[in-house]
């Protein structure tokens, strides 16, 4: 096993830039996720690590070793493909054994290893079946078996469970996480599904338009998004966003729009008071950080209840603010205001993000402890 590091990596397909100056390091044994919408460069990054794609500029390191010029078979990586890419004319056993007999391993050792993987992945009963007849979940496990059987330095996974149906996906996510934790192999996991990345990864690199947007633990990315893109990409239901104006007035900071007028107390807003950029900003507040207030308070906001979605343990309200914005609010199951009734809501300002209007950068972003700007 080894760490994986990308240093200023670029990928160009003709004039199209897939990855721009991407740098990150995945530590030895870490579960690292590349997350982003389709076309964000996450798959290109992964394919460059695997050696399937040439690196246009920059370097990839496994540990101390630069691997740019190594062909895929000399990198000792394993890749679990989105469509699993099992060899359709072979049995489960042959599929798992394939990378071993390509390496001319003695037959007894192959037997032992395949059996170990099959036991580990609960595939012993189907070892002699053709892979065509297997269920999606089983095929998925065979592809993982083929990947782990030769103890790769790095395990790469490209949307390994996005082809499964929703129920199975949830189960496989849990299984997969367990398997990977037990193996403790360096894993780079590519996905467009933020829930998967949040649930499984040690750290996440969020990508968009070929650029790294933020790298951090799931918690950091959720609570402290670097910019508007990250804030909007992470979280379900998504974060509420509204345009407003940021005003400084004798020691206070005030956020105003047609919908609300929020006054910050001094101690909340050290970093806001030294903000000197454009006054046109956007606020972002997650649906669970909005509460319904019984009585009118200084910072409370008028809202009209659009609809109520009952989700069992919680309800999701869709509210219309005076300025026309639609906000989603997550409330406990017993809170069920009438549709078309007027209510008052309140933002938990501790979790209020303020993004610069143009660049979308989070003004209220806090650098992780130990790092200074």
Partner 1 sequence: MENRTDTVSERALSAGELSSRARGRTAGRIIRILALVAFSLFVLLPIFYMFMTSIKDQIEIRASGALFPQKGIHLINWIYAWVTEPLHLFLRNSTIIAVFSTILVMIIAVPTTYAIVRFKVGGELLPSMILGGYVMPPIVVSIPIFFMIKALGLANKLPGMILVHTIINTPIAVWLLDSFVRTIPKELEEAAWIDGYSRFQTLMKVVLPLIRPGLIATGIICMILSWNEFLLALLLTTDPRGAQTFPVGISRYQGQHGLQFGEMSAAALSGVIPIYLIVFIFQRYVVAGLTRGGVKG
d(CA 41, CA 351): 30
- Shortest Cβ 131–partner 1 spacing (Å): 12
Q: Which is nearer to partner 1, 98 or 327 (CB)?
A: 98
Q: Which class for 25: exposed (0-12), middle (13-18), buried (19 or more C-beta within 10 A)?
A: middle
CA distances from 272 to 244, 268, 278, 287, 322 (A): 14, 9, 12, 23, 25
Q: Which is nearer to partner 1, 59 or 82 (CB)?
A: 82
Beta-carbon count within 10 A of 168 CB: 16
Q: Which is nearer to partner 1, 88 or 370 (CB)?
A: 88
d(CA 364, CA 351): 10
- Shortest Cβ 204–partner 1 spacing (Å): 24
CA distances from 52 to 57, 83, 116, 234 (A): 15, 16, 29, 29
Q: Which is nearer to partner 1, 102 or 247 (CB)?
A: 102
Interface residues with partner 1 (CB under 8 A)? 50-52, 71-73, 75, 77-79, 81-83, 85, 87-89, 98-99, 102-103, 146
Residue 210 · residue 20 · CB < 8 Å: yes
Helix axis angle for 166-183 and 136-148, nearest 10°, is: 20
- Shortest Cβ 232–partner 1 spacing (Å): 31
- Shortest Cβ 37–partner 1 spacing (Å): 21
Residue 272 · residue 360 · CB < 8 Å: no
Going by C-alpha positions, the residue among 42, 99, 107 that lies closest to residue 75 is 99
Q: Which is nearer to partner 1, 5 or 53 (CB)?
A: 53
d(CA 11, CA 337): 52
Tokens at residue 160, please? Answer: 């390994």
Q: Which is nearer to partner 1, 154 or 198 (CB)?
A: 154
- Shortest Cβ 97–partner 1 spacing (Å): 10
- Shortest Cβ 217–partner 1 spacing (Å): 29
- Shortest Cβ 66–partner 1 spacing (Å): 19
d(CA 253, CA 350): 14
- Shortest Cβ 13–partner 1 spacing (Å): 13
50-56 contacts at long range (C-beta below 8 A, 24 or more positions apart): 50/75, 50/77, 50/79, 50/156, 51/75, 51/77, 53/11, 55/9, 55/10, 55/11, 56/10, 56/11, 56/12
């Amino acid at each position: 096993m080894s760490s994986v590091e990308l240093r200023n990596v670029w990928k160009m397909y003709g004039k199209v830039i897939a990855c721009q100056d991407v740098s990150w390091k995945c530590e030895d044994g870490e579960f690292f996720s590349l997350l982003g919408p389709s076309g964000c460069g996450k798959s290109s990054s992964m394919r460059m690590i695997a050696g399937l794609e040439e690196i246009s500029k920059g370097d990839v390191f496994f540990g101390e070793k630069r691997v740019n010029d190594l062909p895929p078979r000399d990198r000792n990586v394993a890749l679990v493909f989105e469509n699993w890419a099992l060899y359709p004319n072979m049995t489960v056993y042959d599929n798992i054994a394939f990378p071993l007999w390509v390496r001319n391993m003695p037959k007894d050792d192959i037997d032992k290893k395949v059996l170990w993987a099959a036991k580990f992945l609960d595939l012993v009963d189907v070892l002699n079946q053709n892979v065509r007849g297997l269920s999606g979940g089983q095929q998925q496990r065979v592809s993982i078996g083929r990947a782990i059987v030769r103890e790769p330095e790095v395990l790469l996974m490209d949307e390994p469970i996005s082809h499964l149906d929703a129920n199975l996906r949830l189960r496989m996510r849990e299984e997969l996480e367990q398997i990977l934790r037990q193996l403790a192999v360096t894993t780079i996991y590519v996905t467009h599904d933020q829930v998967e990345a949040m649930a499984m990864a040690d750290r996440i690199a969020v990508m968009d338009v070929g650029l790294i947007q933020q790298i951090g633990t799931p918690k950091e990315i959720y609570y402290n998004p670097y910019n508007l893109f990250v804030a909007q990409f992470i979280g379900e239901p998504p974060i509420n966003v509204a345009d407003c104006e940021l005003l400084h007035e004798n020691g206070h900071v005030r956020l105003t729009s047609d919908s609300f007028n929020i006054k910050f107390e001094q101690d909340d807003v050290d970093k806001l008071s030294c903000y000197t950029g454009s006054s046109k900003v956007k606020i972002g507040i997650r649906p669970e950080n909005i509460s319904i207030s019984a009585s009118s308070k200084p910072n409370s906001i008028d809202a009209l209840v659009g609809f109520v979605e009952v989700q069992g343990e919680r309800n999701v309200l869709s509210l219309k603010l005076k300025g026309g914005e639609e906000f989603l609010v997550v409330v406990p199951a017993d809170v069920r205001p009438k549709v078309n009734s007027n209510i008052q809501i309140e933002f938990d300002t501790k979790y209020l993000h303020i993004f610069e209007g143009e660049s979308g950068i989070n003004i209220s972003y806090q650098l992780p402890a130990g790092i200074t700007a």
